[in-house]
Amino acid sequence: MNEQLKAISELDRVIHEPGRLIIVALLWGVKECDFLYLLHETGMNKGNLSSHLTSLEAAGYVEIEKTYRGKVPRTLLCLTRAGRTAFDRYRKSLKAAL
């Protein structure tokens, strides 16, 4: 297998999924955001977005904090340090692969 194909096969599968890639790319640009912001920016439905966030949280890339603003529930999200490192590595690998 040549080096470029090897680089493609070694891409992080958690981030490489299109939906999760959009989410991680958005979170990379912010310190933190809420669920509604991601819903609006990604155009996904709530179930789909929740499912991807659960996968990213399980991989340790995203931190989810459920809180309240007054009486209204609010979910705050941010990339963990591992998530930022993983995304930086993913970007470099993708550039190398292409």
Partner 1 sequence: MVVGLILLGYFLAGYLEALLPENSPTWMRVVVIYASLVMAVGFAYWTRRAIKRRITWPRTGYAAYRRGGKSWWIKIVIACLNVLTFVVVLAFLIRKGHVMSVWNLSPKTWNPRVVLLIVISIVAYAIWISRMSGGHWWKWLVLLLMILGVITLALLAPGDFGQWARPPVLLIAFLWLCSAAGTLYSYVRHTKPATPEAE
Tokens of 91: 């970007």
User: What CA–CA distance (Å, rounded) separates 19 from 42?
Assistant: 8
User: What CA–CA distance (Å, rounded) separates 43 from 11?
Assistant: 25
User: What CA–CA distance (Å, rounded) separates 62 from 66?
Assistant: 13
Q: Which helix (H) or strand (E) holds 58?
A: helix 46-58
Is 36 among the residues that bind partner 1 (CB under 8 A)?
yes
Nearer to partner 1, 7 or 44 (CB): 44
Member of 6, 10, 13, 32 binding partner 1 (CB under 8 A): 32
* Contact stretch for partner 1 (CB under 8 A) within 12-20, 25-33, 55-63, 87-95: 25-33
Member of 17, 21, 22, 50 binding partner 1 (CB under 8 A): 50
Nearer to partner 1, 68 or 98 (CB): 68
Count of residues interacting with partner 1 (CB under 8 A): 19
Is 46 among the residues that bind partner 1 (CB under 8 A)?
yes
Collect all residues with Cβ–Cβ distance below 8 Å to 57 and sequence separation of at least 6. Answer: 63, 64
Tokens of 34: 């809420």
Which residue ranges make up the site for partner 1 (CB under 8 A)?
Answer: 29-41, 46, 50, 66, 72-73, 75
